[in-house]
Amino acid sequence: MQEEMSKTKEMMRGNPTIYDILKQEHNDVKKLFKQIVDEQRYQDSIYMKIKNALTLHMAGEEKLFYSRLENNAETRQLVLEAYEEHDVGKKVINDIDSSSSDDVKLAKVKVLSEAIKEHINEEEGDLFKKAKKVLSSEDEHEIARQFVNEKMQKMPNMSMPNPPSPPPM
Ligand SMILES: [Fe+2]
Ligand SMILES: [Fe+2]
């Protein structure tokens, strides 16, 4: 998380658009999924990073990006589909959290990985293309700033993979 935040701060210096920020996060989460899928082994610490990253990412998109596009005829249909895809992702995340076997968790993480990859392709393809017709360049930079601020505020509330253990007596 800490490392991720310094990367985001670094990115902000380049005056990114919301598309730059979202693409960076997409690439980061795809790398995390790949670690589990390549090893064919469920790893709780990596899954917790995926879950936290996706939860913040989806909340930020819905609040600051989709909300700007859902009432425009150009982007409305794609945004409604994207909300549904987020809901599917959230459901699989809940299912993983309530599964007790690592084999079942691995199966669900792999399905989540495929679903999220598909969702990312749709966002980076059609949705971003159409969003660029709807949003001004100023909007695109402003939403990026809001997205990062929002994330910074929420970060301390996220559950961490390994809570610090009390010092030994
Ligand atoms: Fe996204
Ligand atoms: Fe999304």
The pLDDT value recorded for residue 131 is 98
Q: What is the pTM of this model?
A: 0.89
The pLDDT value recorded for residue 32 is 98
15: alpha, beta or left, given left = phi > 0 and alpha = psi -120 to 50?
A: left
> What distance in angstroms lies between residue 82's CA and the mean position of ligand 2's atoms?
6
In this structure, is residue 140 part of a structural domain? Answer: yes
In angstroms, the CA 84 to CA 78 distance is 10
Give pLDDT tens digits for 97-128.
Answer: 999 999 999 999 999 999 999 999 999 999 99
Phi, psi of 14 (to 5 degrees): -85, 10
What pLDDT band is residue 10 in, cutting at 50, 70 and 90? confident
In this structure, is residue 50 part of a structural domain? Answer: yes
In angstroms, the CA 14 to CA 98 distance is 41
> What distance in angstroms lies between residue 163's CA and the mean position of ligand 2's atoms?
28
> What distance in angstroms lies between residue 166's CA and the mean position of ligand 1's atoms?
37
Kindly report the CATH number assigned to the domain that includes residue 66: 1.20.120.520
> What distance in angstroms lies between residue 58's CA and the mean position of ligand 2's atoms?
5
> What distance in angstroms lies between residue 73's CA and the mean position of ligand 1's atoms?
20
> What distance in angstroms lies between residue 61's CA and the mean position of ligand 1's atoms?
7
Question: Tokens 């393809």 sit at which residue?
Answer: 125
Range of the domain at 36: 17-157
Q: What angle do CA 126, 27, 95 make, to 5 degrees?
A: 90
What pLDDT band is residue 46 in, cutting at 50, 70 and 90? very high
Residue 161 reports pLDDT greater than 50: no
Q: What is the dihedral of CA 147, 150, 151, 153, to 10 degrees?
A: 160
Give the mean model confidence (pLDDT) for residues 54-66: 97
The pLDDT value recorded for residue 54 is 98
The tally of domains found in the chain comes to: 1
